[in-house]
Amino acid sequence: MTDSEPHLTEHRRTAAPAGAEDQARALRLVHGYMASQALGAAVRLNIADALAESPKSCADLAAATDTDPDALRRLLRALETLGLVERPSRTDLFTLTSFGDVLRSDADAPAHALANLFTSPAVWRPWGELHQSVRTGATAFETVFGMPAFAYIGRQAELSALFNAAMAETAQGAADVVAAGCDFSRFPTVVDVGGGNGTLLAALLTAHPGSRGVLLDTPTGVREAPKVLADAGVADRCTITTGDFFTAVPAGGDAYVLKSVIHDWDDEPARTVLRRCREAMPDHAKLLLVEPVLPGENGPAAELSVVLSDLNMLVMAGGRERTEAEYATLLDSAGLELVGVGGPLAPTHFQILEAVPR
């Protein structure tokens, strides 16, 4: 180095100032929403679908997605760092990773609609008011949009379609492990309460060919069910019923399955749904809830996915995740007795809670 060259201090390995690592860790959490929105942008721009056809240069991908090439390159740089795309030969050709493949709209295990929904204004804006929900106990969604979430979603055709698609993806991700996590062969007739497009019920009936199914949901919820059940080859063993589970549930089933239903509601409406199920159940029938279960007050720390889901219920729907003891109390108040709780169904956070009539 000559005297005319800039003098750079040689890097020395020194101990970080006290608290520096914790600060960096906090900043990673603070920046987390930026990664979520990068993923959401990729979905809304259909980048994964475009790359699924073949590797593309940034210029070709910009043309395929109608985006600004320079801005797209910046997004692709972030997606590469997040592990969603890669450049195998370190050239300008981008391709999907197996991780990024889930963002395709036709992926075998998709997260396309989920990513779109959870980074959309319908979820994004209420989460921005989480502090107000914590301060007041009120649901932020109603503060932002002026009505309960399900009422609002039902009035927005595009949002309703997106919500149903996202719920179908959630069901698809859990269907096989739920089917394997409980012996459904003991149930001649399985009633799926609030079962949406029938993804879960199709998996249960496929795994247990001796059983028949009844699918209950709103007309919008079951719109895609005939195709889903037919594609699975179980349509001849399933009856689709439209209705409101707050009003009535089909009678005479041997098992009543409610996946991700009870956590949507606070105790009083949840109790009403459970009572409608109890009224429909023969004395020998079982009720099976497929939900996350929070640890008790003196238990270990909860899984991150479960506590975030609990906050999402606070912000969005007014529901909640519950402990085993809270489920037992809630079921008891509806005339049901909790008799068993299965372990987590990996890789999901769901557990199966089994109850019987009292």
Over residues 115-164, the pLDDT tens digits come to 999 999 999 999 999 999 999 999 999 999 999 999 999 999 999 999 99
CATH architecture of residue range(s) 31-112: Orthogonal Bundle (1.10)
Q: How many percent of the chain have pLDDT more than 70?
A: 95
**Overall average pLDDT of the 189-209 stretch:** 96
**Overall average pLDDT of the 217-226 stretch:** 95
Token output for 251: 């009678």
The answer to whether residue 18 scores a pLDDT higher than 80 is: no
Distance, CA of 193 to CA of 172 (rounded, Å):
16
Q: What 3-state class would DSSP assign to 46?
A: coil
Q: What secondary structure letter does DSSP report for 220?
A: T
The mean pLDDT of the chain is 94
Where helices occur in the chain by DSSP H, the ranges are: 20-30, 32-44, 47-53, 58-65, 69-81, 112-118, 121-127, 130-136, 140-145, 149-155, 157-181, 199-207, 225-231, 267-280, 304-316, 324-333
Residues 6+ positions from 12 with CB-CB distance below 8 Å: none
Confidence bin at 8 (pLDDT 50/70/90): low
Of all helices (H) and strands (E), which one includes residue 238? strand 238-242
Q: In the chain, what are the domain boundaries?
A: 31-112, 124-357
User: β-pairing, 212-217 with 293-294?
Assistant: unpaired
Per-residue pLDDT tens digits for 292-339: 999 998 888 889 999 999 999 999 999 999 999 999 999 999 999 999
Active site residue 284: no
**Overall average pLDDT of the 22-47 stretch:** 96
Of all helices (H) and strands (E), which one includes residue 96? strand 93-96
With beta carbons less than 8 A apart as the criterion, state whether 213 and 252 touch: no
The answer to whether residue 271 scores a pLDDT higher than 60 is: yes
Could you confirm whether domain 124-357 is CATH 3.40.50.300? no
Q: What 3-state class would DSSP assign to 37?
A: helix
Per-residue pLDDT tens digits for 46-91: 999 999 989 999 999 999 999 999 999 999 999 999 999 999 887 8
Residue 175, number of CB atoms within 10 A of its CB: 22
With beta carbons less than 8 A apart as the criterion, state whether 324 and 344 touch: no
* Residue whose C-alpha is closest to residue 101's, from 91, 118, 121, 115: 115
Catalytic residue, from 112, 208, 263, 349: name it.
Answer: 263
The answer to whether residue 17 scores a pLDDT higher than 90 is: no
What is the pLDDT at residue 156?
Answer: 94
Confidence bin at 283 (pLDDT 50/70/90): very high
Domains 31-112 and 124-357 share a fold: no
Token output for 11: 């890097």
What is the pLDDT at residue 10?
Answer: 55
What is the pLDDT at residue 300?
Answer: 87
pTM, two decimal places: 0.90
